[in-house]
Amino acid sequence: MHELKYQPVVKKVFYKPYGVINLSYDLGKKAINEALKLGASYADVRIGEIFDENLTVRRGVPEEVSLLYSRGMGIRVIVRGAWGFAGSIDLKSEGIAETAQKAVSVALASSKLKKKNIKLAAIAKSRKDEYSTPMKKDPFEVPLEDKVDVLLSAERTLAEQSPLIKSSSTFFRAFRENKLFMSNEGTEITQQITFCGGGLLCVAVRNSEVQRRSYPCSFRGNYSTAGYEFFESLALVEHAKETGLEAVRLLDAVKCPSGKTDLIITGEQLELQIHESCGHPTELDRALGMEADYAGTSFLTPDKLGKLVYGSENVNMVADATAPGGLGTFGYDDEGIPAKQVFLVKEGLFMGYQTSRETAGDLGLGKSSGGMRADSPLAIPLVRMTNINLLPGDWKREEIIEDTRHGFLMDTNRSWSIDDKRLNFQFGAEIGWEIKNGSKERMVKNPTYTGMTPQFWSSCDAISKDDWKMWGTPNCGKGVPAQVMYVGHGCGTARFGKTRIGVLQ
Amino acid sequence: MSVEELRGISQKALKSALKENVDQAQVAAFLFDSARTRFANSQIHQNVVSKKGGVAIKVAIGKRIGFMRADVLEAEQIENAVGQAIKIARVNPEDKYFKSFPEPERWQSLQDAFDDDTANCSPDYRAERVKEAIEVSHSESPLVKAVAGSILSSSYSLAVTNSLGMSAWTKMSLASMNVTVISEKTGSEGFGYAEQSSRHIKDIDPVKLAAQASEKSVKSINPAKISLGEYEVVLSPIAASSFFVFLSLIGFSAAPYQRGESFVKYHLNEQVFDEKLSVKDDAGDPRTVFKLAVDGEGVTKKRVPLIDKGVVSEESICHDTSTASREDRQSTGHALPHGLIRMTRPIPFPINVIVHHGTASVDEMIEETGHGIFVTRFHYTNPVVPTKAVLTGLTRDGTFLIKNGELTKPIKNMRYTDTMLSALKRISMMGKELEAIRLGTVTVPAMKLEKLRFTGATEY
């Protein structure tokens, strides 16, 4: 197992894009004092603003050039041992008082239907700190024209590969959240989280046969908590030709056969496998039944902690909010807990949960894993993935292929589904290849595979180290009302034995 | 804040934009007040209220378009947002398809769209309904272990103005409740689920929901494993709704259609579904819950025949102004209302789907089934091959084997992977009762399909 050595968190001066609000400690104090005055035994407040720039070029036209800006505050309180939360766009003094009052009245209603008082896991000490995503080039300072030019150029290259390419799109996104967290325990944290990235997508059509190919991965590309330099490193224009050609070649590929076989999965697909089959089931709120009405529960119930064989001895997974560039990398979570790395699976054994202060307290874990995040200051924080990483093994990607007598390799997610306890899954990839005697042979289209989570990870016999990287998933849904969070997954390529493929036959 | 105040905000922002010599401008101002009391393990565990609002500004300088949405309602911030939209337009390359923002048209406010009781519902009222649901669930059986769910009360207002003279506004209230019941006996769990949506919070019936969910939950303890393959299926309205949501996403939205990834594109004017299947999107139908008179661009929401007696056509496609201009068509009024529906990407999308009902009851469907499966609900449905309408998903919250016309035993949850072009091609029976599902965006009856292909099973 290769432990990853990360750089310590970097603190920097905040960037000052358009319209930055004053992350005012005074406003925060007012909100907390108001809540305490109304009877709260605990109160925290988040004040923040989000900038979200989305650019899409399709068929030579800027289909989407938009900037979304949102701001507001959220006050979370415990009154008579029960939670209440209120969020509002109103940052005026009287608005803050009203929002605090709403949070308290909601908590009072909650308190009439509680089994026990909320007990938060203790914090080591109250902190006053600031954190900013390290970057070289602020993506919001790069002229819009420059970004659009890259997208236009890449899209042109994609489209010109073949008349069979009926739709070609290129994407850029830059996201920034400036936020303040304060609690009545004395914690005061300001943070600036920035991520950016982009990608390519083309759709090739012949008669009614339709194939798609993305670069560097699906969901509009790859994203990183970094500056514009990350988008530049994707080199969209340079990769457009091969992406377009592969989409066209897929039209002539054979269907993925059905059967049980060795399956090699590249990072572009494996990241979502990790997300669905390790990320979600290790969320402690799910395991404790708190998401039973919507996303479901988890097969990783607390009685299995430290006992269940989740995977083979090769499998080590961590929740790591300190991983450089990860989409779930930050200084502090939305309860003011410092970013940390915790083991979820160690040498195949289920060892840990992603937690909040409340859920950690419920299970007697002593402290939170620092996994509470909200997608807006107006939304309540939930236990969310940070970066769920599969630690590197001893192999090189090419060695895994060379070591495979017969099997299939699948690359880039196309479809996904998993049951509400996170056991039975089915994934589809954009592209696959048959492996024969250690080399990639014929291309296969519409590849799919399915399995049960512990059996699948127990069949993992090789994990690469040379192509290990961070993948960003900016669209993780959870909660009621629904929230969409940006999370990360570090992984390379891995091999799984006797896996069922070709569900579509 | 009233819808009249939102109109004032949108008109003021429009004036600001026009002062800057843009050719066209459009401003939508919105406000969404919502409260959600959520419960799990038979107690309230999340209880939230939020006040969200803002403006969506679009300007055109020639064919250069600038868009900014700012979730703020303060004058100074809105001015900034207008300025930013104009800045974007000035540097954005031309959109050769752009013709115009929508022309004003006659529109009518929808009857009975707004209920003050829903909009002003108190946290205590919601907590009382939750208490009823929990108490009734536990009283149904000592095997009931935990009750979960949520109750929503909300109101939404939208005002849209543009430089062509458009001035449209709409508002609605929305209430919803769902109940999940978990039962247990000798280590085996059973699950049940029920939901209800209405514009009127007083219509929400937690007792009925709890009784339905509890009954299913207790009956589904000790599920058996059955072999994979094709089965007749009786789908509850909740289960059936999943198919129509995803057919809308991959088929009836202009976005996948124009990318060449919609199954509709390859089956125009063909009898792809059973002729008993007619589906429309119609905000004006009194049976739809999600009652907004105009869309996010102020365009009147048109009635769209998504499936007409099993046939799909170009008329099945839902457009906003942008997608319509790419095909020289008119918007059908399907730009999403700002700030209300959470989608990863805003695409034109039907939110008033109504499936034409039949004449059968669910009991009659079961009686007519020789060897089949009753499905309460599907989980994590997703498209596998959109152009062939292949979907996958798992059953959840009460799945039962039907033999010789009777529900015989609970079965472990199963995964289907099948093309809807086959599954919905042979619909044996359509339910006579319509239910509003998924916050009332889909109104659908139960239905019996001749076959659905199950490709996997899970352990519970």
Task: Provide the pLDDT for residue B361.
Answer: 98
Task: Provide the pLDDT for residue A6.
Answer: 44
- Mean pLDDT computed over A313-325: 97
Task: Provide the pLDDT for residue B410.
Answer: 98
User: Is beta strand B229-235 parallel, antiparallel or unpaired with respect to B371-385?
Assistant: parallel
User: Is beta strand A469-478 parallel, antiparallel or unpaired with respect to B24-40?
Assistant: unpaired
Q: What is the largest CA-CA distance in chain B?
A: 74
Distance between CA atoms of residues B249 and B267, nearest Å: 16
- DSSP letter, residue A111: H
Location of each CATH 3.30.2290.10 domain in chain A:
25-252
A-chain residue closest to B380, CA distance: A417
Asked if A249 reaches chain B (Cβ–Cβ under 8 Å), the answer is no
Burial degree of A307 (CB within 10 A; 0-12, 13-18, 19+): exposed
- DSSP letter, residue A275: I
Residue percentage of chain A with pLDDT more than 70:
95
Distance between A254 CA and the closest CA of chain B, angstroms: 15
One digit per residue, the tens of pLDDT, for chain B of length 460 reads: 899 999 999 999 999 999 999 999 999 999 999 999 999 999 999 999 999 999 999 999 999 999 999 999 999 889 999 999 999 999 899 999 999 999 999 988 888 999 999 999 999 999 999 999 999 999 999 999 999 999 999 999 999 999 999 999 999 999 999 999 999 999 999 999 999 999 999 999 999 999 999 999 999 999 999 999 999 999 999 999 999 999 999 999 999 999 999 999 999 999 999 999 999 999 999 999 999 999 999 999 999 999 999 999 999 999 999 999 999 999 999 999 999 887 767 899 999 999 999 999 999 999 999 999 999 999 999 999 999 999 999 999 999 999 999 999 999 999 999 999 999 999 999 999 999 999 999 999 999 999 999 999 999 9
Asked if A504 reaches chain B (Cβ–Cβ under 8 Å), the answer is yes
Distance between CA atoms of residues A89 and B116, nearest Å: 22
CB neighbourhood size of A266 (10 A): 21
A430: left (phi over 0), alpha (psi -120 to 50) or beta: alpha
Question: Is A167 within 8 Å of B261 when comparing Cβ atoms?
Answer: yes
Q: From B31, B48, B30, select the one nearest B39 (Cα to Cα).
A: B48
User: Which residue type occupies B446?
Assistant: A
Q: From A392, A431, A426, A437, select the one nearest A409 (Cα to Cα).
A: A431
Q: Is the separation of the CB atoms in A303 and A287 below 8 Å?
A: no
Q: From A460, A462, A408, select the one nearest A435 (Cα to Cα).
A: A408
Distance between B258 CA and the closest CA of chain A, angstroms: 8
- Mean pLDDT computed over A51-70: 92
**Concatenated DSSP letters of B75-117:** HHHHHHHHHHHHHHHHHSPP-TT---SPPP----PPTT---HH
Exposure of A10 in the CB half-sphere (CA atoms within 13 A) = 15
Question: Is A85 within 8 Å of B46 when comparing Cβ atoms?
Answer: yes
**Cβ contacts of A414 on chain B, cutoff 8 Å:** 384
> How remote is the C-alpha of B317 from its chain's centroid?
17
CATH number for the segment(s) A25-252: 3.30.2290.10
B-chain residue closest to A206, CA distance: B260
Q: From A68, A142, A81, select the one nearest A116 (Cα to Cα).
A: A81
Distance between A289 CA and the closest CA of chain B, angstroms: 6
Positive or negative, the Cα torsion across B202, B203, B208, B210?
Answer: negative
User: Chain B, 245-264: which have a CB under 8 Å from a chain A CB?
Assistant: 258-261
Question: Is B96 within 8 Å of A60 when comparing Cβ atoms?
Answer: yes
Q: Is the separation of the CB atoms in A420 and A296 below 8 Å?
A: yes
User: What phi and psi, each to the nearest 5 degrees, are found at residue A173?
Assistant: -145, 135
**Cβ contacts of B217 on chain A, cutoff 8 Å:** none
Exposure of A19 in the CB half-sphere (CA atoms within 13 A) = 26
Distance between A465 CA and the closest CA of chain B, angstroms: 30
Task: Give the contacts of B446 (CB within 8 A, at least 6 positions apart).
Answer: B234, B235, B236, B237, B240, B360, B362, B365, B430, B431, B433
Distance between B127 CA and the closest CA of chain A, angstroms: 6
- For the cut 90, the answer to whether the pLDDT of residue A124 exceeds it is no
User: Chain A, 268-297: which have a CB under 8 Å from a chain B CB?
Assistant: 288-293, 296
Q: How far is CA A426 from CA A458, B145, B307, in A?
A: 17, 30, 29
Distance between CA atoms of residues B151 and B205, nearest Å: 11
B160: left (phi over 0), alpha (psi -120 to 50) or beta: beta
> In this complex, which of A18, A71, A169 lies closest to B72 when CB atoms are compared?
A71
User: Chain B, 15-54: which have a CB under 8 Å from a chain A CB?
Assistant: 34-54
Question: Is A88 within 8 Å of B258 when comparing Cβ atoms?
Answer: no
**Cβ contacts of B96 on chain A, cutoff 8 Å:** 60-61
Task: Provide the pLDDT for residue A23.
Answer: 65
Asked if A176 reaches chain B (Cβ–Cβ under 8 Å), the answer is no
Give me the helices (H) in A253-340, please. 267-274, 284-287
Distance between CA atoms of residues A495 and A459, nearest Å: 8
> In this complex, which of B93, B124, B179 lies closest to A109 when CB atoms are compared?
B124
Helix (H, G, I), strand (E, B) or coil at A195: strand
Task: Provide the pLDDT for residue A484.
Answer: 95
Distance between B267 CA and the closest CA of chain A, angstroms: 9
Positive or negative, the Cα torsion across A143, A149, A150, A151?
Answer: positive
User: Which residue type occupies A216?
Assistant: P
- Rg of chain B over Cα atoms, rounded to whole angstroms, equals 23
Question: Is B40 within 8 Å of A68 when comparing Cβ atoms?
Answer: no
Question: Is A148 within 8 Å of B459 when comparing Cβ atoms?
Answer: no
Question: Is B48 within 8 Å of A106 when comparing Cβ atoms?
Answer: yes
CB neighbourhood size of A98 (10 A): 16
Identify the residue whose tokens are 């099948």: B418
Q: Is the separation of the CB atoms in A82 and A115 below 8 Å?
A: no
End-to-end CA distance of chain A, in Å?
38
User: What phi and psi, each to the nearest 5 degrees, are found at residue B39?
Assistant: -135, 150
- DSSP letter, residue B224: B
Average the pLDDT over each of A23-32, A485-494, B209-218 and give the range with the smallest value: A23-32
> In this complex, which of B91, B394, B455 lies closest to A503 when CB atoms are compared?
B455
Distance between CA atoms of residues A293 and B405, nearest Å: 30
Look up residue B216 and give its two tokens.
């299913």
What is the set of domains in chain B, with CATH numbers? 3-219 (3.30.2290.10), 229-457 (no CATH)
Look up residue B439 and give its two tokens.
């916050």
Q: From B31, B91, B24, select the one nearest B58 (Cα to Cα).
A: B24
Look up residue A396 and give its two tokens.
């090189």
Question: Is A292 within 8 Å of B146 when comparing Cβ atoms?
Answer: yes
Torsion on CA atoms A100, A104, A105, A111, rounded to nearest 10? 160
- Mean pLDDT computed over A87-100: 93
* Inter-axis angle of helices B75-91 and B3-19, nearest 10: 40
Distance between CA atoms of residues B125 and B200, nearest Å: 13
Q: From A234, A256, A195, A151, select the one nearest A487 (Cα to Cα).
A: A195
Q: How far is CA A299 from CA A281, A283, A308, A383, A433, in A?
A: 7, 11, 10, 17, 32
**Concatenated DSSP letters of A73-96:** EEEEEEETTEEEEEEES--SHHHH
CB neighbourhood size of B397 (10 A): 29
> In this complex, which of B50, B266, B384 lies closest to A415 when CB atoms are compared?
B384
Task: Provide the pLDDT for residue A21.
Answer: 57
pLDDT for A253-286, tens place per residue? 999 999 999 999 999 999 999 999 999 999 999 9
User: Which residue type occupies A7?
Assistant: Q
Identify the residue whose tokens are 């968190």: A9
- For the cut 80, the answer to whether the pLDDT of residue A55 exceeds it is yes
Asked if A66 reaches chain B (Cβ–Cβ under 8 Å), the answer is yes
Task: Give the contacts of A283 (CB within 8 A, at least 6 positions apart).
Answer: A291, A298, A353, A354, A371, A383, A384, A385
Distance between CA atoms of residues A483 and A358, nearest Å: 19
Q: From B42, B217, B282, select the one nearest A290 (Cα to Cα).
A: B42
Query: What confidence category does residue A54 fall into, taking pLDDT thresholds of 50, 70 and 90?
Result: very high
Task: Provide the pLDDT for residue A19.
Answer: 45
**Cβ contacts of B123 on chain A, cutoff 8 Å:** 105-106, 108-110
Query: What confidence category does residue A10 fall into, taking pLDDT thresholds of 50, 70 and 90?
Result: very low
Look up residue A290 and give its two tokens.
């708190």
Helix (H, G, I), strand (E, B) or coil at A267: helix
In the beta sheet, which residues pair with residue A191?
A131, A179
Q: How far is CA A346 from CA A363, B125, B319, in A?
A: 20, 47, 50
Distance between CA atoms of residues B248 and B59, nearest Å: 29
Distance between A7 CA and the closest CA of chain B, angstroms: 32
**Cβ contacts of A61 on chain B, cutoff 8 Å:** 93, 95-97
B-chain residue closest to A61, CA distance: B95
Task: Provide the pLDDT for residue B379.
Answer: 97
Q: How far is CA A467 from CA A266, A326, A397, A471, in A?
A: 9, 16, 7, 12
- Mean pLDDT computed over A428-452: 98
Asked if A140 reaches chain B (Cβ–Cβ under 8 Å), the answer is no
